[in-house]
Amino acid sequence: MLLLSLSFLVSCKDSSNPISKYGDTVIDKYKSTQQFGDRMSLKNLQQAVTTFRVANSRLPGDLDELERFTGETIDKNKFEYDSSTGTLTLKK
């Protein structure tokens, strides 16, 4: 039984193992989807900055002000905002 368990564990680390390949594919797709979501959020936030500027004749002072304006929670760990230019970027 122990030998069978050990051989299974060793085979899971083998890159030619179909289960391992499937797991890698699932993880890659998850990360890709997450990055796509972040890019879409960035585009939405950029649009919110533009809308804020039109409505208030100025740029938001910070992400907190933009958050109050939109009524949506902004993940400040993911985005950087330059209030002098209105530029939003994804944090690396």
Give, to the nearest 10 degrees, the angle between helix 2-13 and helix 18-56.
50
Model pTM? Answer: 0.64
State the DSSP code for 72: S
What are 23-80's pLDDT values in tens digits? 777 676 666 666 656 677 899 999 999 999 999 999 999 999 999 999 999 999 999 9
| CB-side neighbour CA atoms (13 Å) of 78 | 12
Handedness of CA 33, 35, 36, 41 (dihedral sign): positive
